[in-house]
Structure 1
Amino acid sequence: MRGIGQDVLGGPEVLHQIELPVPRPGPGEILVRVRATGLNATDWRHRALPDLFLSAPPFVLGWDVSGEVAAIGTGVTIVKPGDEVFGMLPYPHGHGAAAQYVTGPTRAFVRKPSNLDHVQAAAIPLAGLTAWQALVDTANIQAGQRVLIHAAAGGVGHFAVQIAKARGAYVIGTASAANHEFLHGLGVDEAIDYRTTDFAETVRDIDVVLDSLTPENAIRSLQTLRPGGLVITLRGFGAERLREQASRVDARAEILLVEADHAGMLALAESAESGALRPTIAGIYPLAEAAKAHALGESGRTVGKLVLTVN
């Protein structure tokens, strides 16, 4: 089978097409014929930077999967070959979605909603689960609460807006002015242009902040909280400092690392099927052009998600 691999860390140019053996599903696993795989910021970070999670290359990246079940391992009962499924491979060590076939735990996947094609479905898992686990599982957002979402037009951000609005929250989102119309279309109540407005000086009485940018941005977000408020950051660096600063202002701070989650995927699938969750596709590239997609994603100028199609 074909895949996109790399032998060294570096820029998008290190990605290249490789040939791999088709894997076999083990007990409790399924083999999925990948039709599309979503890209996330973690893809270019792992491609370029040494980290605490993955060993050195060579490796095949990618966690988002939408496709058909090609084979099942021993003990699998909830799907059969031919079923259309989507899901997130276990993060971080389950990577490998940028290929024609991939194996993963059965319960990392759920049935693909019939109203989504594979490109739309592949855009959801990692970013959607991140937003769900932050706002629902961690923050337990309630109707009437005030939520501040940074980078609200991005992959995680645009799902977070929709999840928070579906739960009745008042949502404030930061994005460039060019993306404010998009945010209002998602339901954002207030859009802040981070280039011209200092959110830390203007936003107050926030119950929950979701920050995917920098440790410094998460710390500055503490200024916006009500007593007892919560900042959730997706960036683990500087965690001790963030928690220390939060305790000084009667706030909480949590650092979230997304997990494979069958219940969460079922909730996202139901939301997508009902129309409450809509993925926005920033661009579609064939697998062979993964380097181009990485370069675009790394530019920080995309709205929604980039997706690779796999033929």
Structure 2
Amino acid sequence: MKAIALQQYGSADDLALIDLPTPKVGPAEVLVRVRAAAVNPVDWKLASGGLDGMMEVHFPLVPGWDVAGVVEQVGPDAPEFSVGDEVFGYVRKDWVQQGAYAELVTASVRMLAKKPRSLDWAQAAGVPLAGQTAYRSLKRVGVGAGDTVLIHNAAGGVGSFGVQLAIAFGARVIATASERNHEYLRSLGAEPVTYGDGLADRVRALAPDGVDAAVDFVGGDAVDVSLGLDVQPERVASIANPEADGKGGHWVWVRPDSAELADLARLIDDGKVNVHVDRTFPLAEAAQAWKLSQEGHVRGKVVLTV
């Protein structure tokens, strides 16, 4: 099979299209014929060695944790799926090597769900990691009906899901972003504010009684700004700042969960969550896709088509 891989830690310029053997299909696994694989910042951060102290990595390294495709083979004790099923999933395994930037990838049944019927392949691939990250963050801080929630970096891949999910859960959303993304956030149902100096005052102007919860999808001082708005620490979550744990909040690291993914698919097919793909690239142009992602100005998702 063809796959994008690195032979050692490196950058976008070290990605190469190579031939690799078809992955073996183990118990409770299926083999997926990849139709699309999303690019996430963690892909290029991991490939640079940035997570070496946390994760076991083997080479050649095929990046990519987000996949949408068709089940081609079913392993032993995997009754949840059949050959021909259209699926999507977050295929983060216990070690890092056999990722989704390939024609074929194996995945445990706990990582997959049936693809939302209303999405095309590129949109479906853009859901799992970002969508589940937003879903788990909001659930961790108990966002529900009647809450006012502050979402930092709301126009990005994770933030766009966070805004829509919080609204689907019945919350009012105040969303930070640059001014060029304010109209986009209004179209999702959020009330945008510009990030940077004076953010707390701008939030107070919109919510004089304060906010009930806050989720940080950017890092920096977002956790401290949130706590300064008198949010209860246990109702603050961050995906970018490990120090949130030590301040009484939650550092969220999403894990594969087929039930969460199936719930996301239901919300999408019910019309409560839309998926915006900023741009697609063919698999062979993964380096260009990474460089676009690294610029930090993507609205929605960047996806590789296979």
Alignment TM class, shorter chain as reference = over 0.9
Contact 2:2–2:18 under 8 Å retained in 1: yes
**Deviations 1:42-83 (CA, angstroms, capped at 9, x unpaired):** 112112233222436431110001000000001111211111
Contact 1:83–1:111 under 8 Å retained in 2: yes
Alpha-carbon distance, 1:24 to partner = 2.1
Q: Residue in 1 aligned with 2:21? A: 21
1:74 is aligned, of 71, 76, 91, to 76
Question: 2: distance between equivalents of 1:73 and 1:154?
Answer: 36
Contact 1:208–1:225 under 8 Å retained in 2: no
Question: 1: distance between equivalents of 2:179 and 2:220?
Answer: 23
Alignment of 1:84 onto 2:79: no
Question: 2: distance between equivalents of 1:44 and 1:217?
Answer: 23
Alpha-carbon distance, 1:227 to partner = 4.1
Task: List aligned pairs for 1:27-176, cutoff 5 A.
Answer: 27-51=27-51, 52-55=54-57, 57-90=59-92, 93=95, 96-136=99-139, 138-176=140-178
Give the match's secondary structure for 1:10. coil
Question: 2: distance between equivalents of 1:264 and 1:31?
Answer: 21
Contact 1:283–1:305 under 8 Å retained in 2: yes
Contact 2:116–2:265 under 8 Å retained in 1: yes
Alignment of 1:269 onto 2:271: no
In the superposition, the TM-score normalised over structure 1's length comes to: 0.91
Contact 1:91–1:258 under 8 Å retained in 2: no
Question: 1: distance between equivalents of 2:24 and 2:59?
Answer: 22
Q: Residue in 2 aligned with 1:259? A: 255
- 2:122 aligned partner, one-letter code: V
Alpha-carbon distance, 1:156 to partner = 0.4
Give the match's secondary structure for 2:253. coil
Q: Residue in 2 aligned with 1:305? A: 301
2:215 is aligned, of 201, 210, 214, to 210
Contact 1:23–1:102 under 8 Å retained in 2: yes
Give the match's secondary structure for 1:77. coil
- 2:260 aligned partner, one-letter code: G
Alpha-carbon distance, 1:126 to partner = 0.4
Q: Residue in 2 aligned with 1:249? A: none
Pick closer, same or farther for the CA change 1:243–1:81 going to 2, 3 Å: closer
Question: 2: distance between equivalents of 1:107 and 1:260?
Answer: 7
- 1:8 aligned partner, one-letter code: Q
Structure 2 spans left out of the alignment, 5+ residues: 205-209
2:183 is aligned, of 158, 181, 205, to 181
Question: 1: distance between equivalents of 2:128 and 2:135?
Answer: 10
Q: Residue in 2 aligned with 1:235? A: 240
Alpha-carbon distance, 1:25 to partner = 1.1
Q: Residue in 2 aligned with 1:193? A: 194
RMSD of the TM alignment (CA)? 1.7
Could you tell me the percent identity over the aligned residues? Answer: 39
Give the match's secondary structure for 1:140. coil
Question: 1: distance between equivalents of 2:112 and 2:48?
Answer: 28
Give the match's secondary structure for 2:221. helix
Question: 2: distance between equivalents of 1:272 and 1:2?
Answer: 31
Question: 1: distance between equivalents of 2:95 and 2:222?
Answer: 28
